[in-house]
Chain A
Amino acid sequence: MFGPEQGHFALALACVLALVQFAVPLWGANRRDARLVGLAPYLAVSQLIALGYSFLCLIMCAVSDDFSVQNVAANSAVSKPLLYKITGVWGNHEGSVLLWTLILAVCGGAVSLFGRNLPDILRGRVLAILGGVSAGFQMFCLLTSDPFDRVFPAPMDGQGMNPLLQDPGLAFHPPILYTGYVGFAVPFAFAVAALIEGRVDAAWGRWVRPWAVAAWCFLTCGIALGSWWSYYVLGWGGYWFWDPVENASLIPWLTGTALVHSAIVVEKREGLKIWTVLLAIATFSFSLSGTFLVRSGILNSVHAFANDPARGVFILALLAIVIGGSLALFAWRAPSLTSTGLFSPISREGSLVLNNILLCSICAVVVTGTMYPPFMQLLAGRTISVGKPFFDAATIPLTLPLLLAMGVGTALPWKRAQLARTFSHLYAAAGIAAIGLVLCFWKLSGVLPIACGALAIWVIAASASDVLRRIGIGHTSAQGVWERMKHLPRSSWGAALAHIGAGITVLGLCGMSQAQHAIVEVHIGETRSLAGDDWTLLDVHDYIGPNYKAMQADIAIRHNGKLVTILHPEKRDFTTQSQTTTEVAIHTNFITDLYGVVGDRHGTGKDTTYVLRLHRNPLAPWMWLGGLVMAIGGAFSLSDRRMRIGAPKRAAARNMARA
């Protein structure tokens, strides 16, 4: 019922359905044949069902320990806990490609179900584009990365999973991150459909924005989760390494953030149309290139996937069709999209343009830094590495004006603003930021952390004061405030929350720039001090886990003689894979993380010493907390009725009925 052959068949069926989903509605839209176009949603849902079944089959293979399936044999083992047998399905190349296409199919299904109020032709074309992309990647899955491949003779036990991946945080990281990546396929499909149609208007902006915001929320969460994972699993005390794989997720996030903002201008002012269409294409193109180029082995990354240049060629051909095709269409059709609005630089739309310029400049820096080493090696034959110093030096100066503008932007009205009046709204926030600057001078060292910290406080204060002003705090009675609170659009709450989240993340980054650490070699009972805390190694003991052997240390941390906590970092030896992992122990009070790692054991008997790494990371949790707040802000603005497609139509229908 759920065997690998059924799964394989379902995958092939889904691929055929996706091809039909691509061809029929496009053809129908060209002939203006409503029946052919109307097939698109049914095809998309059937494709989703077939693919879902296929994915379920792969999960069943893993759960039932069917080691005759190559993918299960290579990545699973009898002794692996059930949760990781399930999540391990997408922890490897083949399974993750299947998950990727499944999420794309879910997007198609969502457009079919929630997009009922879209014009039929537009919906048909959007679904056709999604079907085309789906078909391509399902073919990739079938032809080069078949997860259902059998192996003969079947081994008695599998080779097990990379123990680093055996972690609840990482188990759910790929689905969330992929939903973010793949979610941008919907704005992409809208952009391509608009180019085919030759029309972009305010309604298009209103339709495309919720999909972009939803994908953006998932991508934000995915990046935050990935960064958190590398913080507490890799045990290096770092959270972002400017590694190609990390950059591959940051690049679409930057253009996606720009897209979320520029689509507002399309919706409200019918401006930035060509630019928004380009951003929609670029964001998905970056998502695609990012997820797939890291698998071809071109980018030298610590997050190694099994590299296979043959796969890379297939992927590149696929990317050439999807990205090249859409950009060619853009070059051909975009010049006919004319914008109507005239912009004044000092206005909401002006500030959104600035936001786009800065975000895209940061994106250009990250793209350059990521692509420079392989291209340098290709062209000049020289190996160079571009690391943290370059990225920090190039991105932080661009972030400072971005933060400054974030505070002002939401306070500006559309069309034409009076600077004096706008500034009068921002006095309070500027005052708080000034206090923040003093606080930063006191607590932080270094010009850039101080500037970033003060600007982050400015963003938080300005966003909060903007909402307070809109609901009339200090101007109206409590009753009035309540009324205004109810009527303030959710998207305004969402924007304020998202901006506050960004401020919190930046504050966390500033705090982490002041992190302190020490590597010490101690006997049991010895005490070392780090930044005012005394760390004592109390004891070290060994124990045996389900599929590993572990060495656990007890480290007591005292502040001024008072016990703060006892940390239990571990070092685990996974016997099947002969790999060791470190289990970091973290104590957090949401202001400071105390972070301990136990390393090697040296010597024997009374002379036994242990290497410990001790970190004190101020404001570390704020980095991920801020990401979460940003995503909640996005979700909040998604719940705005204006964002829901068709809400105006329904309201009109209600009014008609009343009249």
Chain B
Amino acid sequence: MNATRRGILTAVPIIGAGVLGVGFWRMLSDMRSGAFDPRAIKNPNVGKPIPSFAMPGLPGLGDGFTDAELRAQHRPVLVNFFASWCIPCVAEMPGLRAISRNMPIWGIAYEDKPENAAGFVQRDGSPYARVASDRHGRVAIDWGVTGVPESFLVAPGGRIIWHGSAALDPQIYEAEIRPRLAGL
């Protein structure tokens, strides 16, 4: 092995470490400015129209809803995917009830038995203006849901303008959702 090749090979580790280091530095500086959140789940549908769907309702909680009905709303709607088997969803309920005093929330029960979901929603008072059942999770796939709870802010006309992948509470509402409502 000649000296040049040797020199190039021994420089490979520092170049690799340098690239990684620059990447980490970018991530950290973006984290400080809020542009990079490793725990966030980016939804590709944000900024796009809602997918088409039609879902039945839950027993005792009225009819379900369709994409056309959601699109026809004149106010922004918060769409919330939940399930009775999901612990963060239980924790989210009081927060949702608080938010529901400010804006309508439409709930979609994800992969849940209708009777369980209905019982869950009614246990301490429903935060939802309307509820539908996505029994086999087909609709959730179209929305790009990766788990529950996840929420979407849908503007009048049916465009998704915000997506959240954590249990909602009034702080998130104030910080993330309300500023976006003002722009509508």
Contacts and interface: CB of A to CB of B under 8 A. Distances in A.
Interface of A: 274, 278, 281-282, 285, 293, 296-300, 309-310, 312-313, 316, 319-320, 323-324, 327-328, 330-331, 334-335, 371, 373-375, 377-378, 381-383
Given A298-B31, A300-B39, A378-B30, A293 B24 contact: yes
Q: Give me the 3 closest cross-chain CB pairs, A-B, nearest first.
A: A327-B14, A335-B6, A331-B11
Instruction: Point out which of A324, A331, A375 has the most chain B C-beta atoms below 10 A from its C-beta.
Output: A331
A323 B20 CA distance: 12
A165 B42 CA distance: 32
B21 A320 contact: yes
B38 A282 contact: no
Contact of B40 (A296, A375, A383): A383
Contacts of A328: 14
A395 to B, nearest CB: 21
A64 to B, nearest CB: 36
A309 B23 contact: no
A281 B36 CA distance: 30
A646 to B, nearest CB: 32
A324 B14 contact: yes
Contact of A330 (B10, B23, B32): B10
A309 B26 CA distance: 11
Contacts of A381: 42
Contacts of A331: 7, 10-11, 13-14
Contacts, number: 79
Contact of A298 (B3, B28, B40): B28
Contacts of A278: 10, 13
Query: Would you call the interface of chain B mostly helix, strand, loop, or mixed?
Result: helix
Contacts of A309: 28-29, 31-32
Contact of B23 (A323, A327, A375): A375
Nearest to A277: B10
A375 B7 CA distance: 28
A378 B25 contact: no
Interface residues of B, number: 27
Contacts of A383: 40-42
A377 B36 CA distance: 8
Interface of B: 3, 6-7, 10-11, 13-14, 17-18, 20-21, 23-32, 36, 38-42
Contact of B13 (A282, A374, A382): A282
18 contacts: A296-B28, A297-B31, A298-B27, A298-B28, A298-B38, A300-B39, A309-B31, A316-B24, A316-B28, A319-B21, A331-B11, A331-B14, A374-B23, A374-B27, A377-B38, A378-B30, A382-B42, A383-B40
A274 B25 contact: no
Contacts of A313: 25, 28-29
Instruction: Point out which of A309, A371, A381, A382 has the most chain B C-beta atoms below 10 A from its C-beta.
Output: A309
Instruction: Point out which of B25, B27, B29 has the most chain A C-beta atoms below 10 A from its C-beta.
Output: B27
Contacts of B25: 313, 316
Contacts of B11: 331
A378 B13 contact: no
A330 B14 contact: yes
Contacts of B10: 274, 278, 330-331, 334-335
Given A327-B14, A335-B3, A312 B23 contact: no
Contacts of B36: 377-378
B21 A310 contact: no
Nearest to B16: A327
Contact of A300 (B14, B30, B32, B38): B38
Given A278-B13, A324-B14, A378 B23 contact: yes
A593 B18 CA distance: 46
Contacts of B24: 293, 296, 298, 312, 316
Contacts of B32: 309-310
A560 to B, nearest CB: 35
Contacts of A330: 10, 13-14
B28 A312 contact: yes
Contact of B38 (A299, A320, A324, A335): A299
A334 to B, nearest CB: 4
A382 B7 CA distance: 37
Nearest to A339: B1
A310 B32 CA distance: 8
A310 B42 CA distance: 24
B162 to A, nearest CB: 16
Nearest to A301: B38
A2 B143 CA distance: 59
A298 to B, nearest CB: 5
Contacts of A293: 24
A336 B60 CA distance: 81
Given A327-B14, A335-B6, A383-B42, A378 B21 contact: no
Contacts of B40: 383
Contacts of A373: 38
A382 B29 CA distance: 18
A296 B31 CA distance: 10
Nearest to B13: A327
A554 B3 CA distance: 71
A285 B25 CA distance: 17
